[in-house]
Every structure is written in structure tokens, then in C-alpha cells.
Chain A
Amino acid sequence: MTSGQQHAEAAGRVPAASDASSLALRVDRLNKDFAGTRALNNASLHVRRGTVHALLGGNGSGKSTTIKILAGVYPADSGELEIFGAGYDLGSYTPATAQQAGLRFVHQDLGLFNELSIEENFALDAGYPLRGPGIDWRSLRRHVSDLLAEYDLPLDPGQPVNSLRPSDQTMVAIVRALQDQTSAGDRILVLDEPTARLAAHESELLLEQVRRRSELGQTVVIVSHRLREVLSVAHDFTVYRDGRVAGALVAAKPTEDQLVELMAGGSAGALRPTGQASHAGTDVVFSVRGLESGPVRGIDFDVHRGEILGLTGLVGSGRSSVLKAIFGQYRPSAGQMTLNGAPYAPHDVGDAVDAGVAMVPEDRAREAAFPDQSVSENFAVATLGENFTRGWMPRGRERDTARSLIRRFGVKVAGPDALFSSMSGGNQQKTIIARWLNRSPQLLLLDEPTQGVDVMSRADIYAVIRQAAADGCAVVVASSDPSEINALADRTLVLSRGRISAEVRAGELDVEGLNRLVLRERPADPDPDPEPNA
């Protein structure tokens, strides 16, 4: 079966489904230009009452723009909007109109006050109930605990938000957004990347909640790039590409590949496993024995020249801790490491860099970006010592290097002098990987290399990582995304509660199997403080 046919067919079904009464939200012929760039081109979105609708698309596809227009943040250039059958003029549409019409938004950044209690978070949104001149704490607590009970959340309203597990924090934000609704049918809940910050099992808990709400008649729009999750919960799908509708699937059960195909438009080949394209050699570049650091215990592994080693596991399994110990960010409490046969014990990050180790950290914005500096400076910062020759640091040479790196890694940017912050997330990530590959490292560590990166750039980044391995670099990729591990790694170590619980070679398991392996958590160590030489 060719996916193209399926889409054309699915798209054709839209008019039939858009009979006015059954639609909670109807957007048609939506256009929006940004400084001459067409962000939305006759885009549409039809959300049926009481369904979970997935709005999908890569970065720059226009899905975020649509959400911002619906929220009243951006004005649309033209278009038609109907919410629960009532038409709205997009010319005079504001955030207040969106609120009145019954749209409720929960963004990726939940907008919760982390140090404050759940009930105060509710009150700061809707206002404190008063009794006389003071706050009526008792009625606030009753209101909030009733709401939490309604949503089956066994939480204490007095608990501070930062003591909750991540999925519950998201649920608190959702309940807060819906706190004024009288029946499930009169609001549309828009979730913008609700699981982006959640680990796999936390996402499952959240999506289970969303599923339950939709069974009660709640209309939900989910914007996400985690396709597998969306597939498990959504009834209808709208896929945007380049500001147009690439496909609208009503009451359909598409496969992940079909959605990726729609989003990426035929360039998704790189997302599949490399199979026999492995470049792994037989000589060991890096090895570690008995590593202990933070939550991590007894880690042994070797990485070979040209090999891509995957590290996966749930949040808290110690993925990042292993990388940080190798990169000299944390001093391991026990264990030996060797790099190219020589003992390797970095005192700090500088030592690790000098020894030929590079790391692309998980939190790009905070840990890797110099946002107010130029792309050229962002490259040069990793080679300051090398650029200092005969007492000078010629900027011309730095720019030339930057230009060649931009070309080599296909970074889409105006030039070496453009600001780092002017690039999209995917190009920022390419810049950071290029910064390190410019040093031709022996060992490249990547922590969640495609987090918050669109499908298109993801394929590019995979290609870059593979090329680095082909050039003889030993690569370790830590990722919580099983499909990423499946697509990239020649060999995968599954971490569970700080120990290696399984080793999988490429092709032995599919994404599903890998995911099951990750989710099947090892029982906790009986002794909270095991002997150092266990």
C-alpha cells in the first residue's frame, strides 16, 4: 500500500466530516505572512466535538503559528474561525475572545508557580475567594480538592507544585485551565507539546488522563512531535507542512511511518535504522570499568572506533550521569576509564576536552548556547587555544572556519556573523555538534541529541552523527527516545536504576521491543547504600 493514496483519500473525507454541529472548532483558509515568508497558506483545522485531535508538523510547518493565532497572540492575515458553531472575526480576535469562546491553552512551559501550593496556583489564576477583607482559605481548599477529585488526582491542595511528579504537574496545569468549566463539552483544551519535558512512563500517565477526559466528552487538541504517543490517544490527525495541510485524517489509524512521511514529505529515510551500514571497528577507543557516580553503579562498557553506542533508560536511570562522569563534569567515586589504551581520569571538563572527548549536552539553551554571540563565535569558543597563534586571534580565520563548517554540516543561517539565537532549534543543534566535530574528537558524547528538534533536522543530525562515526569517532548517544536509539545505535545499553540491565545489538529488537525493555524496570537495589565493590 502506498501512503500517498491513503492521504489523498483521507484528505478527501474532510468536507464530509465538517458538518457544522459536530465541529467544536473550525478554521479555514487561514493565511499568515511573517516579513514576506508565508507561515500559513490556506491552512485549515477541523476539530470534532469530544475527540482528541492531533496537530502535527515539523518546525516551521505552521502548527505553532496556528496555535498562537487561536490564542489571540498573533493576528491572522485572513481566515475563517468558528468555535462551537459561533463565527469569530479574526481581525478583532484577542486572547480575551479566545478565553470567552471556550479555548483553554496549556503550553509546554506550564506557567505554574513551582514553590507555591496547588491551591494558590489555582487562586492566582482565578482569583482568591474572599471572606471579609481576608482570603477564604477554607473555601479555596474545598474548591480545589473537589476539582482534583473530579480528575482522579490523589493530591493534597496544600502541596507545593514542585513536589509533584512531572505528569501530575502537567495535570494540575490542565485542571487549572479547565477550572471554570461546568460540563466537559463546553471547552476546548489545547495542549502544546504536553509531553516534551516528560519521560516515557510519565507521558503514558498523562496521556491516560487525557484519554479518560475525552471519554467524558472533553474536546482536546494536542500539538506534539512525539508521534507514537499521539497515535495512542488521538482520533483525528491534521498534518501541516510548509504552512499547508499535508493531510487530514478523520477517525483514522495511521502508522507512525505514514505520519512521518506526511510531515517530512519523503525525506524520512534517515530515521530508519542503519542496519549493516555500521562503521564500527574492532579497536577499543574508550572503556570504563566499575564506574560509580551519583546514581550510577558498576558500569562496564567499551566503545570501538566508528561505533555508535546507545544508552537508554527511564529518567533517573543514570544515562546523563554516565556521560557527565566521562566528560569530567562529575568526579566518579569509583572506577577506571581508559582512552586509546591510556588511563583517563579527567580532573575537569577542560581535561576531557584536551584528551579528545566532546559532549553535546541535553539542555541546549542553558548548557551549550551562547545566544547573544555570533555563529562564528559559537564555533570558536571550543578552539580558543588553537586560534591563538603568534599572539593574535585573527577573526578572518575564525569566519573562514565557520563558513566551511556551516557548509559541511548544512547549517541554515544567514552567515558566520548571524546571531546564534537567530537560528531554529535544529540548526542550533547542528552548530553545537559541528563545534565539537571541528575538534575531531576521539570520543563524542551526545545527550538527547534531537530533543526539541523537528523531523527534518533530526534526519540531518542523524546523518551528521553517522558521518562522524564513519570518520572514525567513537560515539555514545544517550536518549530516552527508543526510536532514536533504534535508528542510530549499533549497540545499545539499557540502564535501569543506575545499572546496565540489558545489551542489545542493532536489528535484534524493534522500537517496540526496545521500549518494553526500557519500561521493564529493574527492581530497586535492596541495600540503599551498596558496598562500593559490589
Chain B
Amino acid sequence: MSQSPSSSQSTATVSIPVKRAPVPVRLLESYAMPLLTVLVFVFFAVFPASSTAFPTLNNLYVIFGSQAVVALVAVAALFPLVCGYFDFSIGATAVMAQVMCAGFMANLGLPLWLAIILPILMGALVGVVNGFFVTRLGMSPFVTTLGMSMLIAGLMIWYTGGQTIVSGIDRAIFSFGSARWLGLPAVFFVTLAVAAIAWYFFTHTPFGRSLYAIGSSATAAKLVGVPVTKNVWWSFIIAGTIAGSAGILQLARQGSATASDGGILLFQALAAVFLGATAIRPGFFNVVGTIIGAIFVSISVSGLTLSGASGWASNVFNGIALLAAVGLSTYLGKRKRQGAST
């Protein structure tokens, strides 16, 4: 039973099987989300209860308009998430920018451009502080940003006295908020532009690529010369800045500002990000997937509402979407780490 050892050529290292899913399966996996989005759209377009109001240009305008802000917050959330950190303060940061932009014009009479730039800088400052706590002091990002979120929300309620700011805001910002380009809301194009820049950062700059490396293994990233601390810190600053811009867009769309913790904005955004991690590059957070995820959530909620579902239905849907998305992306990520297939 034993062979002569010296003659036979060893193939020991060749015999490790590299399993690879067939091409159609991989394509389906990457494009299941976009496909599902189209299917949901078609369904509500022909479903009798919603078929009259759903597939109209006006409804599309509502869908894309309402989702522009959520999608922008989702893009903000992407930066820390790609390197493996949660930022729960971006919802509150967006609301802060919305309130402060309105407040600077209504209470201090600042010109529009300054009232836009200052809140965005404040958002960046929140990111600087978050980044300091998380990278320099090594505090848990989860609890740190949750605490930051409550702190900001509290300060904003103190600033507004619980009142909604309606008067004294420059009309120009509203007209931008309700403007249509090519039949779609102008704010949606702002989101698309920011998303395009974010896509460029993540896929075509050393900085963005290093964030994925940090997310994969921070220790290994450090040992190939990636400035891990600096880049993670920057990811929080970028998140704060984009969240601040999202707040300005929200003011443009709503025309008024009310202090809140921004929880709904945050969780809808997280649902979009995690849904996005199941598409395009399955198992990885990515910009294109995130935008599709945001549109998917928006179309589904709009369809449900127009079919006569009550107000709670959208929360239930968001909750289910978030759970399903986290479950799926965890599963895909785990499978990747175990090296099962691509």
C-alpha cells in the first residue's frame, strides 16, 4: 500500500480546492438588490390599490426628494463603517446643521452662504471630536457616537427652546429645495454628486482603498504603512461634514427646522448602507449599493403608504429591511472571510 517515495512528484500544495461560484450565481448575487428594487417598483405600479398614484411623475418626485437626504446621510455613514467603525451621531449632526442654518439666518441675520457653510463646519467639528475620542483615546465608537448624538440633540432643543424655526429663513433655499431638474428634485442631484465623489474616493484614491484595508484588518493595514489612526479620524470628519450638508438639504426641502435626535434619519440611512452591502460588491459596504438601498427603501415605503398602509408600516418596513440587510451582509462577509467563494 505504500509507494516508493522518491519517484512520485508531489502535488500536495496543488490539491487545495478553490471553490468558486459559477458566473450566473455571482451576477445574481451582485445584482439581486437592483433587480428587487425594479420588481418592487413594477409591483406597486400594477398593484390595484397603488397603481393610480404610485407610477406618476409627482410620486417619483416625492420618492427621490425624500430619499435624497437619507441617501446623503447613508453616504456619510459609509466612511467610518468601511473601516469598521459605527457613527451614530450623523443623524443628530444633520438635524443640528438644519437647525443652525435656520437659526443663523432667523436669529443672527447671517447671509445665506455663511449660514450654509458654518453648520457644515460644525458638522466637521463633531467628526473631529468623535475621531479624537475613538482613535486617540480608544473609546468604543458605538457608545461615544451615541453619547455625542444625545448631547447634540439636547443642545439643539435648548437652542430652539423646543420651537420650530419657520420665519426669517432666506427664501432662496426653499426655491432650491422645491426646484426640479429633468422632472426630479434638484436636491437629488446634489446627493448624486456627493455620492459620485464618494465613489471616486473609495475606489480610485489611496485614501479610500486604505479604508477598506483598515476594515479588513487594522493591524495588517498598519504594518503595510497605512496611517490607520489618521485615516480613521478623517473618516469621522468626512462623515460629520457630509451629515452637515445633509442637514442643509433637509432644511431646503422642509422649509423649517425642528430640533430632534435625528433617529429616523439615522436608522433609514443605516438600512440603506447595510442593504447596499448585499449588492454590487456583496459583503462590502459600497457607494452604488448604498444609493440603490436608499431608493429601494423609499420605493417600498411609498408603495406601502399609497396602498393604504398606516403610518407605522414604514417603521416596520425599515426595521425589517435593516435586520434582513445586516443578516445578509454579515452572512456574506463571514463567507468571504472563510474563503468559500467569490
Contacts and interface: CB of A to CB of B under 8 A. Distances in A.
A34 B1 CA distance: 21
Contacts, number: 179
B220 interface: yes
A384 B210 CA distance: 8
B12 A58 contact: yes
A449 to B, nearest CB: 15
A274 B19 CA distance: 38
A4 B5 contact: yes
B13 A426 contact: yes
Given A350-B227, A422-B339, A393 B206 contact: yes
Nearest to A363: B219
Nearest to B227: A350
A381 B215 CA distance: 13
Given A372-B283, A392-B204, A242 B4 contact: no
A39 B16 CA distance: 9
B136 interface: no
Interface stretch (B32-40, B271-279, B330-338): B330-338
Interface string A338-375: 00000000001110111000010100001111111110
A239 B5 CA distance: 10
A4 B204 contact: no
A350 B217 contact: no
Looking at A327, A367, A385, A420, which has the most chain B CB atoms within 10 Å of its CB? A367
A245 B209 contact: no
B5 A39 contact: no
B279 to A, nearest CB: 17
B11 interface: yes
Q: Specify which of B8, B17, B220 lies most central, judged by the most chain A CB atoms within 10 Å of its CB.
A: B220
B216 interface: yes
A352 B225 CA distance: 8
B23 to A, nearest CB: 12
A245 B13 contact: no
Interface stretch (A67-75, A263-271, A401-409, A489-497): A263-271
Interface string A420-437: 111110110000000100
A241 B210 CA distance: 41
Contacts of B310: none
A328 to B, nearest CB: 9
A160 interface: no
A34 B18 CA distance: 11
Contact of A61 (B12, B206, B220, B227): B12
Contacts of B210: 381, 384
Nearest to A4: B6
Given A353-B224, A381-B224, A392-B204, A373 B212 contact: yes
A412 B16 contact: yes
A388 B18 contact: no
A348 B227 CA distance: 8
A7 interface: yes
Given A36-B17, A384-B209, A370 B220 contact: yes
Contacts of B17: 34-37
Contacts of B18: 413-414, 418, 422-423
B104 to A, nearest CB: 36
Interface in B207-233: 209-210, 212-213, 216-217, 219-227
A267 B223 contact: no
A7 B219 contact: no
Given A244-B3, A329-B223, A350-B227, A393 B15 contact: no
Contacts of B212: 373, 377
Contact of A247 (B5, B16, B203, B342): B5
A61 to B, nearest CB: 6
A50 B237 CA distance: 66
Interface string B104-115: 000000000000
A98 interface: no
A412 B11 CA distance: 11
A242 B220 contact: no
Contacts of A261: 5-6
A14 B227 CA distance: 59
Contacts of B3: 244, 246
Interface string B1-31: 1111111111111111111100000000000
A188 to B, nearest CB: 22
Nearest to A372: B336
Interface in B153-193: none
A185 interface: no
A311 interface: no
A367 B74 CA distance: 31
A59 interface: yes
A382 B224 contact: yes
A415 to B, nearest CB: 9
B5 A262 contact: yes
Contacts of A244: 1-3
A61 B225 CA distance: 36
Contacts of B336: 371-372, 419, 421
Contact of A371 (B6, B205, B222, B337): B337
Nearest to A368: B220
B10 A421 contact: no
Given A60-B16, A359-B223, A381-B209, A245 B1 contact: yes
Give the 4 A-B CB pairs with smallest separation, nearest first: A421-B339, A353-B225, A384-B206, A11-B2
25 contacts: A36-B17, A44-B1, A59-B12, A60-B16, A241-B8, A241-B12, A245-B2, A265-B9, A266-B6, A267-B10, A359-B223, A366-B220, A370-B213, A370-B217, A370-B220, A370-B221, A372-B216, A372-B336, A381-B224, A393-B205, A422-B18, A422-B339, A423-B339, A427-B13, A456-B12
Interface of A: 3-4, 7-8, 11, 14, 34-39, 42, 44, 57-61, 239, 241-248, 261-262, 264-267, 327, 329, 348-350, 352-354, 359, 361, 366-374, 377, 380-382, 384-385, 387-388, 391-393, 412-414, 417-424, 426-427, 435, 454, 456-457
Given A244-B3, A359-B223, A368-B220, 13 more contacts: A4-B6, A7-B5, A8-B4, A37-B17, A242-B10, A265-B5, A327-B223, A366-B220, A380-B209, A381-B226, A391-B204, A421-B337, A454-B12
